[in-house]
Chains A and B, each alone.
Chain A
């Protein structure tokens, strides 16, 4: 009988930054087809958790498996599409949207093989999927924050991954881009994809999410259905600090309650 392997399996993961414990024994299995949102206050360790899943942050203890392979031996990076929080700062030279999105094909074609027609077609399709077809030749720095975020999602989609990992994809993103993003995600899930995303607030994504994890003080405080948002002022002791000046104020959710 065919036994399905979890797409992601985190076992008692510990992560520490300079002696300060950020994750303390987190367990997280994600099965194929799930759309998992990782929620939590700033500093709860939610971003660290996905960065540890991708091997961008070393584990002090515990283990991570991707598609059944221990992270150390994992080589099928074309199966993963990563969307970072924002465009890297290292862009002293202009780059067009198409050039940035084309980097999404590298996991599939490797560093030495030049792009083929299939690569170019996938790049064009991914740019169209996030509604940026008319901006493909423009420098990414001329795009709005929301459009830049869509370009990063297109980069991840261009590699035709099985698992999308997104770090706060909708933080500081305008409503039009949030809707475009929710549509793109819906299409990806309909095609059989698995999603792991860190979110501060769900907004239009809410109907797409199948499971929510709440990270609190480096541990998992909730694992199950999407929790009802607690109002911004529901918790008198909330110490939430807004990191982005341009955050949408539509659904001000500082803390999530299980």
Chain B
């Protein structure tokens, strides 16, 4: 254990994972509220094309992935805004086109299956200090934007029409959420990989809302769970020599299960001894005859 914390590679991996563990649920709270829990997964597919473009043209794959994923996310937002029933199929085309395009481009660039696996499932141990700097800066921007704009973003995710009548710049805020999703997906690519990114956005939120009552408390609890799962996951992965991305996600799911069971037990034990339970709700409908 002590050896582990003396290792630069381990410390960089831990720091990168903790940043993602903080940033992903902060954004994810809005996505879950909007019932777009799987959007991160789709944008992750699209980002793979960006990775392919970067490898093919010998550019930084992180940079090209951010650009392509952002374009994809804005495209998704435009489809969602129009609310067409065909939007579902449009998204499927975009997502599968994204992953197929990514695989083809990586092949064309002479990349190997190992390259591909690094992006799909993460490769935390190869995090350089330059990578870490990019992750830290972008992660800080994501967290700051999501916290500072919480009332407005909450309003558009909770009730978009009301937000419109409040004069909020609804489209700009939606595009901001879309671009933030793309950025988060891309920086999380190194940690948990494109296929597991969405889990870190969604699972901590799902765990938190088992016990929280409000939006703000859900967001804060999700951030704490995200950091915990990312940190613990990296340590466990190093000790047990397992894949860090998958370990982080499994820890998060374990937290979710633990909280769910604990909350259910608490509800069950509380309900029984309470004789002075709150007075019944007034009836919804009063029948007058």
Chain A contact residues, CB within 8 Å of chain B? 54-56, 75, 77-78, 80, 82, 84, 87-96, 98-100, 102-107, 111-112, 114-115, 137-139, 144-146, 155, 159, 165, 172, 174-177, 246-250
- 4 additional A-B residue pairs with CB within 8 Å, beyond A99-B214, A111-B151, A174-B284: A94-B209, A246-B285, A248-B288, A250-B288
Contacts A103-B154, A137-B213, A137-B214 given: A90-B284 contact, CB under 8 Å?
Answer: no
- Which positions 129-163 of chain B face chain A at CB distance < 8 Å? 148-149, 151-152, 154-155, 157-163
Q: Are B164 and A106 in contact (CB under 8 A)?
A: no
Q: Are A174 and B282 in contact (CB under 8 A)?
A: yes
Docked Cα-Cα span, A139 to B212, in Å, equals 9
Docked Cα-Cα span, A174 to B173, in Å, equals 36
8 closest cross-chain pairs (CB), A and B: A77-B167, A111-B152, A96-B214, A88-B159, A107-B166, A93-B33, A82-B165, A103-B155
Docked Cα-Cα span, A107 to B159, in Å, equals 14
Q: Are A95 and B284 in contact (CB under 8 A)?
A: no
Docked Cα-Cα span, A60 to B122, in Å, equals 51
CB nearest to B210 among chain A residues:
A94
Docked Cα-Cα span, A246 to B29, in Å, equals 32
Cβ proximity bits B175-189 to A, threshold 8 Å, 1 near / 0 not: 000000000000000
Docked Cα-Cα span, A175 to B159, in Å, equals 26
Q: Are A145 and B284 in contact (CB under 8 A)?
A: yes
Contacts A84-B161, A96-B213, A107-B166 given: A90-B34 contact, CB under 8 Å?
Answer: yes
Contacts A90-B34, A93-B32 given: A249-B215 contact, CB under 8 Å?
Answer: no
CB nearest to B151 among chain A residues:
A106
Docked Cα-Cα span, A247 to B152, in Å, equals 33
Docked Cα-Cα span, A99 to B158, in Å, equals 10
Chain B contact residues, CB within 8 Å of chain A? 29, 32-35, 37, 148-149, 151-152, 154-155, 157-169, 173, 205, 209, 212-216, 218, 281-289
Docked Cα-Cα span, A80 to B216, in Å, equals 26
B25 to chain A, nearest CB (A): 11
Contacts A75-B167, A111-B168 given: A88-B32 contact, CB under 8 Å?
Answer: no
Q: Are A176 and B282 in contact (CB under 8 A)?
A: yes
Q: Are A77 and B213 in contact (CB under 8 A)?
A: no
Q: Are A103 and B151 in contact (CB under 8 A)?
A: yes
A207 to chain B, nearest CB (A): 19
Contacts A94-B209, A106-B152 given: A246-B284 contact, CB under 8 Å?
Answer: yes
B177 to chain A, nearest CB (A): 13
Docked Cα-Cα span, A102 to B163, in Å, equals 12
Contacts of B215 in A (CB 8 A): 93-96, 99
Docked Cα-Cα span, A171 to B164, in Å, equals 23
